[in-house]
Structure 1
Amino acid sequence: MQLTQHTDYALRVLIHLGDNTDRRVTISEMSAYFDISRSHLMKVVNHLVREGFVIGTRGKGGGLRLGRDAAAITVGEVVRCMERNLDLVRCFSDPSVCVLASGCKLKLALKNALQAFLASLDAVTLAELLAPARGSSEGLYYAAAS
């Protein structure tokens, strides 16, 4: 399974905002930091705002900040929100396309795998992905990815 670029960017935005809770962050700043088109990033941010993950303030001194505490946001929740289609195979949404439908056990195996994947992501909060404070040993995922 491969997550869409939309989801990748959403996770980057949330991590960046979580690492910068002391200030508002602009879309232009993130666009330059991640080398992502501003217009594409706007679509991602608008989706995050609609879903309550991010709060945006317009005008001078405006910018973006997390809409909820980082410990209350799970990666699984973000993935489910951003991915339009989590069907691993076409027959998940249209059983009529499967010529093996009467005896196919693959669909159940794939559904179980998807549930396990999402459960694993549900166990990881945004707070766990953030850069640790200086002198802290926290941030287990951030350190592993560095």
Structure 2
Amino acid sequence: MLISRETDYALRILRALSDGEKRSIEEICSLEATPKQFAYRIIKKLEKSGWIVITRGAEGGCRLTADLHDVSLHDLIHGLGSSFCINACFQEGYECTRSPLCEDPCHIKEGLAKLQESMEKELKDLNLHCLIFGSPN
């Protein structure tokens, strides 16, 4: 799966907060059909990345602090601690079982590397506001 469930839920959380209002986790989960057990963990990661602020206490909640025009889908994926690899051979520490058997370069990996590069560019070019609202403004 290219977009993880965590990334999907993070997008929903950011959409719920996009109007700048402070919302409780319960309200966010209700608005966006997001399970609380995921929301708590994701909200902490969004705060750590500097995109939201969490206020604790009886009047607490979450508020968006980032401009979604300035945050790309690539930023979000990496801010959640994930990486975007279309194949295992691009993951750090991966040891290919084929490489000891061949002297030729792997044309499959070369082709997938071009695709990986192209997709990463698209992820970097797509800001979250456009993704969530479907408009460039």
Q: TM-score if structure 1 supplies the norm length? A: 0.76
Aligned counterparts of 1:105 and 1:127: Cα–Cα separation in 2: 37
Q: 2:106 aligned to 100, 104, 107, which one?
A: 104
Q: Is the 8 A contact 1:52 1:67 kept in 2?
A: yes
Aligned counterparts of 2:26 and 2:39: Cα–Cα separation in 1: 9
Aligned counterparts of 2:132 and 2:135: Cα–Cα separation in 1: 9
Q: 1:84 aligns to what?
A: 82
* 1:108 to 1:83, Cα distance in 2 relative to 1, 3 A: farther
Question: What stretches of structure 1 of length at least 5 have no aligned partner?
Answer: 132-138, 142-146
User: Could you report, residue by residue, the CA deviation over 1:57-94 in whole angstroms, capped at 9, with x for unpaired residues?
Assistant: 11232211122222221122112323524232222231
Aligned counterparts of 1:90 and 1:129: Cα–Cα separation in 2: 27
User: Could you report, residue by residue, the CA deviation over 1:75-128 in whole angstroms, capped at 9, with x for unpaired residues?
Assistant: 221123235242322222313333457421221221221221121122222232
Q: 2:41 aligns to what?
A: 43
Aligned counterparts of 1:101 and 1:45: Cα–Cα separation in 2: 47
Question: What stretches of structure 2 of length at least 5 have no aligned partner?
Answer: none
Amino acid at match of 1:17: L
Amino acid at match of 1:125: N
**3-state SS of 1:87 partner:** coil
Q: 2:9 aligns to what?
A: 9
Q: 2:59 aligns to what?
A: 61
Q: TM-score if structure 2 supplies the norm length? A: 0.80
Aligned residues: 132
Aligned counterparts of 2:113 and 2:38: Cα–Cα separation in 1: 31
Q: Is the 8 A contact 2:54 2:62 kept in 1?
A: yes
**3-state SS of 2:10 partner:** helix
Computed over aligned residues only, the root mean square deviation of the Cα atoms, in angstroms, reads 2.2
Deviation at 1:8, TM superposition (A): 0.8
Q: Is the 8 A contact 1:15 1:126 kept in 2?
A: no
Q: Is the 8 A contact 1:95 1:101 kept in 2?
A: no
